[in-house]
Amino acid sequence: MSDVHLIALTVNGTRHEVAVEARRTLADVLRHDLGHTGTHLGCEHGICGACTVLVDGRPTRACLMFGVQADDCEIETVEGLASEDGALSPLQEAFSAHHALQCGFCTPGFLMLATALLRENPHPTDDEIREAMASNICRCTGYQSILEAVRAAAGGNAGAGEPGSDGPGLREAAPR
């Protein structure tokens, strides 16, 4: 095989060396070379955002970046969001509590996008949340529950959310 480059990158804190064909994208490297299949490809032309990961802390379309460009980069993916004991992050909890996912295909991209938003701006306004989340496409939810989940996570109150129509049962829900 021609045109193979050796790169080193850190994914969710673990360093990897990968031999990568020049034309392979960062999404290819994550999914196929490293087995991180939580990063999904929804359009491969940078519109839908399902493949959003964090590259050196910034939300990035993994389908629009070549693997070789990720040399020496710190990558964060959905697999790294929960803590090591398996506890979900407040944002992940909020997505579940607010029914912010249905088929789940776009979910990793939205989680990474929102993670970046809340790190940069821990207390975003509703408009700021809407504007940021408008970077990605979800075909199932109609977005409202995603916005509510991000707002709840921003308030540090994932399971208890803002008043909405998502019913008391969601809020009383807790692991049995």
Partner 1 sequence: MADGRLPATDAAAAATGGRWVGRPVRRVEDARHLTGTASFVDDIRRPGVLSIAFARSPHGAARIDAIDASPALETAGVRAVLTAGNLDDLDPLVPRLDRPEFVAVEMPLLARDRVRHVGEPVALVIADSPHAAEDGAERVAVEYELLDAVTSIDAALAGDAPRVHDEGNVLLDVDFHDDPQLDARLDEAHLVLDETFSSARVTAVPMEGRACLAEWDDRDQRLTLWTSTQIPHLVRTTVAALLGIPEHRLRVVAPDVGGGFGQKCVVSREEALVCAAARRAGAPVKWVEDRQENLVAGFQGHEQRFDVRAGFDADGRIVGVAADILCDVGAYSTHPFTCGVEPLMAATELLGPYAVRCYRARARAVATNKAPMAPYRGVSRPQMVLAMERLLQKAALRLGIDAVEMRRRNLIPRDAFPWTGPAGLVIDAGSYHDALETCADALGLEAFRERQRAARADGRLLGLGLVCFAERSGYGTEAFNQRKMVVTPGYDSALVRMDPSGGVTLYVGTSGHGQGHLTTLAQVAADRLALHPGDIEVRQSDTDATPYGWGTFASRSIVVGGGAAHRASGALADRLRRLAAHLLEAAPEDIELRDGRAEVRGSPDRGLAFSDLARVAYLEAQKLPEDLVPGLEAQASFDPPGTFSNATHGCIVEIDPDTGAVRIERYVVAEDCGVMINPAIVEGQVRGGVAQGIAAALYEELVYADDGQPQTASLMDYLVPTAAEIPPVEILHLETPSAFSETGAKGMGEGGTMGAPACVATAVADALAHLGIEIDRLPIRPDQLLAALRAAAKEETTAR
What is the contact surface with partner 1 in residues (CB under 8 A)? 1, 21, 23-24, 31, 35-45, 47-48, 50, 77-79, 81-82, 86-88, 92-93, 95-97, 99, 101-108, 111, 130-131, 133-147, 165-170, 172-176
Give whichever of 46 and 72 is closer to partner 1, judged by the CB atom.
46
User: How would you classify the pairing of strands 4-11 and 14-21?
Assistant: antiparallel
**Least spacing, CB of residue 157 vs partner 1, in Å:** 16
**Cα angle: 58, vertex 38, 139; to 5 degrees:** 85
**Least spacing, CB of residue 132 vs partner 1, in Å:** 9
Residue 93 and residue 152 in contact, taking contact as beta carbons nearer than 8 Å? no
90-97 and 144-154 helices cross at what angle (nearest 10)?
140
Give whichever of 72 and 109 is closer to partner 1, judged by the CB atom.
109
**Least spacing, CB of residue 16 vs partner 1, in Å:** 17
Give whichever of 10 and 72 is closer to partner 1, judged by the CB atom.
10
Type and span of the H or E element at 129: helix 126-133
Give whichever of 39 and 60 is closer to partner 1, judged by the CB atom.
39
**Least spacing, CB of residue 123 vs partner 1, in Å:** 19
* CA 110/CA 95 separation, integer angstroms: 10
- If one counts every other C-beta atom within 10 angstroms of the C-beta of residue 72, the result is 10
